[in-house]
Amino acid sequence: MSLSHETQLMLRVQSGDLAAFEQLVERYQDMIYGLALSIVRSPEDAEEAAQDAFVKLFHARGHFDPSREVEPWLLRIAGNACRDRLRRRKAHALPMLRGEDDEDLAQQLPDPHAEQDAAVSMQQAIRIELDRLSERARLPLELKYLRGLTNQQIADALGISLSNVKVQLARAKDILASRLEKVLES
């Protein structure tokens, strides 16, 4: 059985090779940061959660099972690090969609009839409606369509089954489509 490059790196990390750990961090840092940003919704918290994930990976290196792939293991660690960060953060500290003057961004949508502003308006409407979704509905959509994760990567990151990911994606797309129809009608 031949081991993947990432598994070989992780085995080197297990033996204390810091250069191998650095290579793993470089390989996965964008993916883990994107996952964290989708979950914690704050660039600063996402950066800290990503760092926490890699620190936890390093500390847990002795528990790595080389018969399994590194990526799902790391995604699970990162998802847990993000949930830990969210538990520590108070609900009122969650970011809101506000403009510079603390005005609701929904009030700042450009005229949807203006040809040049139509695409921007639609993007803003999608973002606003996406932000209005529950975390359970929003996360799989963001991870799939904004962060480019596969359904399996989403399942690994969120600690849910692949079939659950598919169901959540379908439901969230239906909810989002329904809300966007109402926005476009008005």
CATH of residue 41's domain is 1.10.1740.10
Mean pLDDT of 152-160: 94
Residues 81 and 21 in one domain: yes
Domain that holds residue 22: 5-91
Residues 134 and 156 in one domain: yes
Residues 76 and 101 in one domain: no
Residue 185 above 70 pLDDT? yes
Residues 142 and 72 in one domain: no
Q: Which of 91, 119, 146 is the last residue of a domain?
A: 91
pLDDT in tens, 58-77: 999 999 999 999 999 999 99
| CATH number, domain containing residue 153 | 1.10.10.10
3-class SS string, the chain: CCCCHHHHHHHHHHCCCHHHHHHHHHHHHHHHHHHHHHHHCCHHHHHHHHHHHHHHHHHCHHHCCCCCCHHHHHHHHHHHHHHHHHHHCCHHHCCCCECCCCCEHHHHCCCCCCCCCHHHHHHHHHHHHHHHCCHHHHHHHHHHHHCCCCHHHHHHHHCCCHHHHHHHHHHHHHHHHHHHHHHHHC
Residue 142 above 70 pLDDT? yes
Q: Which of 43, 72, 91 is the last residue of a domain?
A: 91
pLDDT in tens, 18-60: 999 999 999 999 999 999 999 998 999 999 999 999 999 999 9
pLDDT in tens, 86-137: 888 754 444 444 555 555 554 454 444 455 555 667 778 888 888 899 989 9
Q: Which of 39, 59, 91 is the last residue of a domain?
A: 91
